[in-house]
Amino acid sequence: MSNGVLFDDKIHTERDWRLKLISIYIPMPDPKTQLVDIPGADGTVDLTEVNGRPAYQDRNGIELVFDLQDGDYRKWFVEYSEFAKHIHGKKVKMILDDEPNHYYMARIKLDGKKTNPVYGRVVLSGDADPFKYDLLASNEPWLWDSFSFRTGVIRNLGDVNITASNKTVTIRGAGIDTAPVFIVTQANNLKLTYAGRTYTLKVGRNRFPAVRVGEDDVILNFSGTGKMSIEYRGRYL
């Protein structure tokens, strides 16, 4: 069982609020099914994976249950109200202690109940984005203190130089496909070739919806010269 949850990189349920985590429920997102009824034909045509994979609804109904040893009813009301001020109704970044390399984005509401002088019960519930995300994007410095060598993926794409002798870049894949962003600071006829198509890179932010990184590693081929960082953040069910 996790020790606690960190919200928005600053509020920890156990260290800051003495909340003891009792249970976690984070459901999988429902797929967005797309069924088309063809008049005069048997059954339906299933277009749910027409783009290569299902799209997903939000993760509805997440729930985190905590105990709070507060000692008396007066202290309970003070601490309950103070915690609500920071989190109730807000969209927050949520990192579980037992899953330090990923985060969820969720809109949280807070409920509580106190039935004896010693303990109170705090329940955080709400809806989250369909995916959990890598804690760090590929162009951000690594935080070795929280890195897991068992589940973490190292990408170091914050300073990429395309030269006459360096024309390829590999992005390590992870989970659900998404399009990386190429943040170019210098470009001299700089182009990217991927899956048989060529794209021109200009100074600034460049994103090409057809250039996607999913579960498998992707090798990108460049021509020309330039400098850039590549922003890619893995996302997962």
pLDDT (tens digit per residue) in 189-222: 999 999 999 999 999 999 999 999 999 999 999 9
User: Cβ distance 157 to 169 under 8 Å?
Assistant: yes
Band (pLDDT 50/70/90 cuts) for residue 1 is very low
Query: Percentage of the chain surpassing pLDDT 90?
Result: 71
Tokens 């783009």 found at: 51
Do 169 and 91 fall within a single domain? no
Do 175 and 120 fall within a single domain? no
pLDDT per position as a tens digit, 41-82: 888 998 999 888 999 999 999 999 999 887 788 888 888 898
Q: Say if 154 falls within a structural domain.
A: no
Mean pLDDT along residues 163-168: 90
Going 163 to 165 to 168 to 170, the CA torsion angle's sign is: negative
User: Domain tally for the chain?
Assistant: 2
- Output Rg (C-alpha) for the chain, integer angstroms: 23
Q: Say if 43 falls within a structural domain.
A: yes
Q: Say if 148 falls within a structural domain.
A: no
Tokens of 34: 């797309």
Tokens of 208: 């090409």
CATH number at residue 189: 2.60.120
Helix (H) or strand (E) segment spanning residue 5: strand 5-7
Nearest-5° Cα angle at 209, 44 to 194: 110
Do 13 and 112 fall within a single domain? yes
Do 52 and 93 fall within a single domain? yes
Tokens of 22: 């009792």
Mean pLDDT over the full length of the chain: 90
Do 36 and 89 fall within a single domain? yes
Band (pLDDT 50/70/90 cuts) for residue 185 is very high
What residues make up the domain containing 168?
A: 160-236
Contacts of 94 by beta carbon, 8 Å cutoff, 6+ apart: 5, 6, 7, 103, 104, 105, 106, 108, 128
pTM over 0.75: yes
Do 44 and 99 fall within a single domain? yes
What is the predicted pLDDT for the residue at 144? 53
pLDDT higher than 60, residue 5: yes
